[in-house]
Amino acid sequence: NAGVMQNPRHLVRRRGQEARLRCSPMKGHSHVYWYRQLPEEGLKFMVYLQKENIIDESGMPKERFSAEFPKEGPSILRIQQVVRGDSAAYFCASSPAGRNTGELFFGEGSRLTVL
């Protein structure tokens, strides 16, 4: 059973470009969470999605950031017009549908570097 799959693992973008990060949850999981980790800091919640629904986006910056989890395919975190402050590791986590325990399984992360 494959774990949470994230790609790309590393992404370099110049200021003003767009970054797209993808996450495929574990098999059987339909809840996806995105967290951001700035260098030397903790994990900050960004957004919680279920298939075709954004459940909680209270941690998303108001501009330039968006997320989706379509019926088919991976969840995507999109950052438009990146700035240097967006450089961070972006972790996706998933949890099973119907089991509201809070347990999360993390992917290996996507490390974004903005030049």
Partner 1 sequence: GENVEQHPSTLSVQEGDSAVIKCTYSDSASNYFPWYKQELGKRPQLIIDIRSNVGEKKDQRIAVTLNKTAKHFSLHITETQPEDSAVYFCAAPYKAAGNKLTFGGGTRVLVKP
Least gap, CB of 60 to partner 1 (angstroms): 13
Concatenating the DSSP letter of every residue in 21-87 gives EEEEPPTTEEEEEEEEE-TTS-EEEEEEEETTEEEE-TTS-SSSEEEE--SSS-EEEEE-S--GGG-
- For the CB of residue 14, give the shortest distance to partner 1 in the complex, in Å: 23
Which of 17, 104 has the CB closer to partner 1? 104
Q: How far is the CB of 17 from partner 1 (least distance, A)?
A: 24
Closest to partner 1 by CB, 66 vs 106, is 106
* Ramachandran sector of residue 101 (left: φ over 0; alpha: ψ -120 to 50; beta: rest): alpha
CB of 111 to partner 1, least distance (A): 8
Residues of this chain that interact with partner 1 (CB under 8 A) are: 31, 33, 35, 41-45, 48, 55-56, 58, 91, 95, 100-109
Burial of 67 (0-12, 13-18, 19+ CB in 10 A): buried
**CB closer to partner 1 out of 19 and 35:** 35
**Of 50 and 81, which CB lies nearer to partner 1 in the complex structure?**
50
